[in-house]
Chain A
Amino acid sequence: MRALSQRLANLGLADYLLALILVAGLLMRLLAPLTTRGLPFYDSWGYYGNVQTMLTSHVDPLFNYHDKQYYTELPLLNFVLYLVSSYTGISAFQVTKYLPPLLLTAVMIPSVAVITTRVTGRRDLGLVGALLFAISDVGSLRESYALPEGISIAVALTFVICLIKALDRRSPSWILLSGVLLLGVFSAHNLTPFMFLMISISVSVFMLKNQLVKLGYWLAAPITAAALFTSFTGLHHNIDNNPYSRYSQLLQLFFSHEKTIVTGKQFGNPLSGYITTQPLTYFFYLHIITVITLLLAIPFFAANIVKRPRNISTAVTEVWLILSGATFVLGVAGDSLFGSQNPFFGYRTWIYLMMPAAIAAAYTLIYFVNARPKRRVAAFAVVAVALILSVPPTVTFIRNTNYNFELDNAHDYLTSAWLRSHVAYGNYTVYSTDAFYGAANSTLNGVYDPHYFFNNISVIYANHTYYVVLSYSTLKYPFHNTGYVVPISHFYNPYFDRVYASETDWIFVYNPTLNSTQVPLG
């Protein structure tokens, strides 16, 4: 107790400011969950469903017990949510909704502050880096909802801190700890580990080049452990196929559109997959702080290309920035060239880039710190004004996005209520749209839970009566993937009776009595 009070007494202004930034970042991230009846964004629903299956059936729904592989997603996020829900007794829905923003804010913002402080050598600029990251929206906001990228990047950030400490202190123990964290990154998401594997390898090569041979070997150990861990466990199929096949798909797309790309006809608005009706300038307005952060990161990137990085932290950040920047360029170029066909979704690359970009942007501000007083004041005034101006559009962006989600959610609630009141337990099958296109092995679920129902509507009980549920959520999946789109007209035929319709949801009953050559299901 005394030690605690002593520690509290020793807190300085910088600590209080960091706490303030944490609160600001947390408010930004809680805005969507607090103002949405359902879960923010689409992805969370899937994880919520998984956790609920884990709680009720005590099986891992993502794990294929026959092949002993994870095919669709990796398990860490589900297990964290499941463990918290089962040990605390808080419902899976509340845990999925609130735990990721709380936990990831608490991990990521201080981590960015720590790394920025090490890179810049100044605590105040460390706080600026944390602030830029905390209130930026495009990348850093979305990652803080239930999304595997989020948890894997949170682990990866602590991995980078360990790596920097290990290199700074030439300490194998920090390298071993970083190795454990690297395994965490590999169990969380399929694309993120690839980037951090490459960061580790680049840093090892960098050590060898500087004749730190033994340390290079130490650093090779966790990379090798992660490679073995991936290859000989259930993670193998997902990690060994996903990132590399996406790169190859992108290359194939590129070469199949070679001529139109060269003539410039292939290029389109990279944002068309996300906001179809708004121009690029409006996007920049909505995301002022992100745009400023990226612009400020450019001098750091250029300076460290031209000259050698002056310390280990800077070198690691530069490697990180280059790799995430290259992925970003690939993602945005892919969105621009191929739109919804791009296998490298752009949103993910924003998430990857925002962290090193915030650190690099804070570093760039050193030049202003050392400028003459008048210029210094002017530069910081510009940054402060930009920060203040960025808050309303960011909030507008979050509110607008979530208004649409909330609208869908409201209709989905009504639909599930209708199903609950009109369809009793018995001999029937309910198909969702994705049951028709590839996801026919949807989870078997006996629980009538409106939350779960939204994005996992393929609830199969028996085989007598077939209900088909179409919902806007599944028809217009956010990152248009043709696999999810089912033309509604498909169901306006004699073999289907429409029994329910709202603005965004439709329920049809398959009528088996007409003849035996009707439209096949599934």
Chain B
Amino acid sequence: MNRLSIILPAASIALGSTFLYLGFESGAGGYVTLSIDGAFLLLVGIVSIFAPRADTAEVDYLAQLSKQVPGASEHFPSIMSGKLYAKFTRDGRVALIDREAASKDLNGVVHVIEPLSGELRRLVLKAQTKNHGGDRGFALTRRFEGQLVDKGVLEGIHVELRENWIEVTLHRPVTGVPLLPEYREPNEAMVATLSSLLLTTICCLVSADAKRDTTLKNISRHGDELVIQLGGV
């Protein structure tokens, strides 16, 4: 628990109570907007004091990786010491790879996480079979476009922990086979935006023990590389 986690709720409760008092004090036809805001601030303060903290970082609820991969957090402390590579496998999983271990071990895969739902993974595998695989990325058929299978556009992610932020480098974003019509080269903004959810989620999990509240700071593109910076809010 840091100082902010005491100051913010305390300030919120104090301000909320004052606004609520001012709103009610002036009676009917008074500062209604202020009293609504007061009630809201009071609620925010109380909730943030009593709400149970997450076991991991602020994991985006949409991915819910911590729930999908029971015990995954056990693997992270070892990853934190070095660099992490995440590889998107052909069948729709993300493999977290420890390169140092990989030099000694066979493949160095630390853990495999599954960001895709069972249904989507079934579709991916089915299409994979239909298209006889492919050398690069997934066979993204039209079937998936509506389902936001943006995960398939990633080939490799390089995550590096710096002093106060984490740098994630996405090597050679591959836009699937065939290219999605929305992802018009060289405008890759869509790829970056859609994939940021996945990247953020992975990185939040990775940095869970090192730093809470890790969020996406910036995404920039340099040639074939997308650099994604993460840090505290």
Contact = CB atoms under 8 A, between A and B. Distances in A.
B233 A215 contact: yes
Contacts of B143: 370
A172 B33 contact: no
Interface string B179-220: 001101001000001101100100000000000010111000
Given A210-B61, A212-B58, A231-B34, A122 B216 contact: no
A230 interface: yes
A414 interface: no
B143 to A, nearest CB: 6
Interface in A478-514: none
Interface in A232-280: 236, 239-241, 244-245
B118 interface: no
A172 B19 CA distance: 24
Interface string B1-44: 00010001000100100010010000001111110111011011
Interface stretch (A34-42, A132-140, A217-225, A338-346): A217-225
A12 interface: yes
Interface stretch (B47-55, B108-116, B163-171): B47-55
B37 A223 contact: yes
Interface in B103-157: 142-143, 145-148, 150
B12 A227 contact: no
B51 A169 contact: no
Interface string A107-125: 0000000000000111110
A197 interface: yes
B61 A213 contact: no
A107 B106 CA distance: 56
Chain A contact residues: helix, strand, loop or mixed: helix
B226 to A, nearest CB: 14
Contacts of B30: 240
A370 B53 CA distance: 39
The B interface, classified by DSSP as helix, strand, loop or mixed, is helix
A230 B34 contact: yes
Interface string A1-38: 00000000010100000000000000000000000000
Contacts of A231: 22, 31, 33-34
A227 B37 contact: yes
A168 B197 CA distance: 8
B113 to A, nearest CB: 18
A197 B196 contact: no
B184 A12 contact: yes
Given A169-B196, A227-B33, A217 B146 contact: no
A208 interface: yes
B192 to A, nearest CB: 10
A215 B47 CA distance: 14
Contacts of A68: none
Contact of A170 (B29, B37, B216): B216
B8 A217 contact: yes
Contacts of A236: 31
A370 B216 contact: no
B53 A224 contact: no
A172 B216 CA distance: 11
A240 B61 contact: no
Contacts of B38: 227
B189 to A, nearest CB: 11
Contacts of B51: 208, 211, 213
Nearest to A370: B146
A206 to B, nearest CB: 9
Interface centre among A122, A193, A214, A366 (most CB of B within 10 A): A214
A231 B31 CA distance: 6
A214 B51 CA distance: 13
14 contacts: A123-B181, A170-B200, A171-B217, A205-B43, A208-B44, A211-B53, A211-B59, A213-B48, A217-B48, A227-B36, A228-B34, A231-B22, A241-B32, A311-B62
Interface of A: 10, 12, 120-124, 168-172, 193, 197, 201, 204-205, 208, 210-218, 220, 223-224, 226-228, 230-231, 236, 239-241, 244-245, 308, 310-312, 366, 369-370
Interface of B: 4, 8, 12, 15, 19, 22, 29-34, 36-38, 40-41, 43-44, 47-48, 51, 53-54, 58-62, 142-143, 145-148, 150, 181-182, 184, 187, 193-194, 196-197, 200, 213, 215-217, 233
5 interchain residue pairs of minimum CB distance = A170-B215, A227-B37, A210-B61, A121-B148, A214-B233
